[in-house]
């Protein structure tokens, strides 16, 4: 790495296959609902309005993914329009956190989730948490989470604390 360049770490929702699959499913659902609008029956128009309002709501969430960024001194969460144009930013200093932590959380459906967070605590109680990324709790997901946690720890200078029983 050249002198003067700071290492950075970015976690982007648009880099995950699930974001692309959800978008494709929303567009397929919109195409599939066309007969509701083109129908001559009034009842179908009512269901068509409901169908397309739900699709629009889903596309609004899909079109505004978030990404997290750090250069070792600041943490930044950005809400992006289609992953390209930043619309909203929230910045926090890394100095306000004490450690990098992986936490596994059980899900009701599907695999558990592994959350990569920066933690600030007081008297053993967590007072602030900045979630940097999440992964499915598969072998590959846990390996990616541990790799990113190590990178985040190295870039931020914060220790990586991981409870062996959780992950």
> 88 burial class (0-12, 13-18, 19+ CB within 10 angstroms)?
exposed
- Provide DSSP, 38-98: H-S-HHHHHHHHHHHHHHHHHHHHHHS-EEEEE-SSEEEEEEEETTTEEEEEEEEEGGG--
Averaged pLDDT for residues 9-13: 77
Total-model pTM:
0.69
Over residues 110-128, the pLDDT tens digits come to 678 888 888 887 777 777 8
How far apart are alpha carbons 48 and 60 in whole angstroms?
18
Q: What is the pLDDT of residue 28?
A: 92
How far apart are alpha carbons 118 and 12 in whole angstroms?
17
Q: What is the pLDDT of residue 17?
A: 85
- The gap from C-alpha 69 to its chain's centroid, in whole angstroms, comes to 12
How far apart are alpha carbons 5 and 14 in whole angstroms?
25
Provide the pLDDT confidence category of residue 71 given band limits of 50, 70 and 90. Answer: confident
Averaged pLDDT for residues 131-153: 86
Q: What is the pLDDT of residue 167?
A: 42
Q: What is the pLDDT of residue 50?
A: 82
- 146's tokens: 């541990």
Provide the pLDDT confidence category of residue 6 given band limits of 50, 70 and 90. Answer: low
- 104's tokens: 């596994």
Greater model confidence, 140 or 1 = 140
Q: Chain-wide mean pLDDT for the chain?
A: 81
Decide if pLDDT at 163 tops 70: no
Q: What is the pLDDT of residue 135?
A: 85
Averaged pLDDT for residues 121-145: 82
Among 84, 69, 72, 74, CA closest to 14: 84
Greater model confidence, 100 or 38 = 100
What's the number of CA atoms in the CB half-sphere (13 Å) around residue 64?
11
How far apart are alpha carbons 136 and 17 in whole angstroms?
12
Query: Where are the domains positioned within the chain?
Result: 9-94, 97-167
């Amino acid at each position: 790495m050249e002198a003067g360049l700071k290492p950075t770490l970015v976690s982007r929702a648009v880099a995950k296959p699930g974001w692309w699959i959800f978008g494709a499913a929303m567009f397929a659902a919109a195409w599939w609902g066309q007969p509701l609008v083109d129908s001559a029956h009034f009842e179908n128009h009512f269901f068509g309005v409901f169908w397309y309002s739900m699709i629009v709501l889903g596309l609004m969430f899909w079109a505004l993914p978030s990404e997290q960024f750090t250069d070792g001194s600041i943490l930044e969460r950005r809400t992006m329009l289609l992953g390209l144009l930043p619309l909203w930013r929230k910045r926090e200093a890394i100095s306000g956190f004490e450690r990098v932590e992986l936490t596994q959380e059980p899900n009701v459906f599907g695999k558990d989730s592994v959350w990569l967070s920066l933690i600030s605590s007081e008297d053993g109680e967590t007072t602030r948490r900045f979630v940097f990324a999440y992964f499915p709790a598969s072998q590959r997901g846990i390996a990616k989470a541990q790799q990113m946690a190590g990178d985040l720890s190295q870039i931020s200078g914060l220790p990586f604390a991981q409870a062996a029983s959780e992950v």
